[in-house]
């Protein structure tokens, strides 16, 4: 998987998944185009972090320094970010597919976030996994304190994103296929 290629060793991790009554191509397209700001929970939590969720989708994450690191259509999409996430402004760094693996600035962390699809009959399991690698022991302690507080909200955002993708994908599938 791409996530293993870009960040095999990590300090923190979170995974969520959902079964969707649609084929992988339909789910992948829905994931690309879902407007996550449709969820009031996502809007609220991102607004509290100083981010806009108005037109937030996987296709337009670039405005926020999130970068697509790799993509295997209908299989996996990997997004990356580096910075000091636990600080008020985040001190986000300019990383991309070419320099992400080599980024090793002490005092920073790098994160990957994937969406992977696993077809299973008339359903597809969509999983999102987030991994964070802290660059230095002090960074790990600082991020750990931050993660203890933010992780439940981060998980809630991801679960809401999965539900939004599910709704979008299942709306594009005829009812007989989607399970009614």
pLDDT tens-digit readout, 46-95: 777 666 666 677 777 766 678 999 999 999 999 999 999 899 888 999 99
Domains recognised in the chain with CATH numbers: 2-173 (3.30.530)
Single out the residue of 101, 56, 105, 97 nearest to residue 79, CA to CA: 97
Checking if the pLDDT of 150 tops 60, the result is yes
Give 64 or 96, the one with higher predicted confidence: 96
Residue 21 to residues 28, 45, 108, 118, 173: CA-CA distances in angstroms? Answer: 13, 28, 40, 12, 8
Question: CA angle 144-148-152, nearest 5°?
Answer: 135
Would you say residue 19 has pLDDT above 90?
Answer: yes
- Is 110:95 a contact under the CB 8 Å cutoff? yes
DSSP 37: G
Query: What pLDDT was estimated at residue 174?
Result: 65
pTM for the model stands at: 0.88
């Amino acid at each position: 998987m791409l996530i293993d290629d870009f960040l095999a060793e990590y300090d923190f991790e979170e995974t969520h998944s959902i079964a969707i009554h649609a084929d992988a191509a339909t789910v992948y397209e829905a994931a690309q185009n879902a407007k996550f700001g449709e969820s009031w929970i996502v809007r609220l939590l991102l607004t509290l972090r100083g981010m806009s969720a108005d037109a937030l989708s996987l296709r337009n994450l670039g405005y926020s320094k999130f970068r697509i690191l790799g993509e295997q259509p209908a299989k996996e999409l990997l997004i990356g970010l580096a910075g000091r996430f636990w600080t008020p402004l985040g001190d986000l760094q300019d990383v991309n597919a070419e320099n992400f693996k080599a980024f090793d600035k002490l005092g920073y962390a790098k994160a990957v976030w994937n969406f992977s699809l696993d077809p299973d009959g008339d359903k597809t399991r969509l999983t999102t996994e987030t991994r964070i690698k802290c660059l230095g022991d002090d960074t790990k302690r600082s991020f750990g304190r931050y993660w203890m507080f933010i992780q439940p909200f981060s998980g809630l955002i991801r679960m809401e994103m999965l539900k939004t993708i599910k709704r979008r994908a299942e709306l594009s599938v005829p009812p007989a296929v989607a399970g009614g």
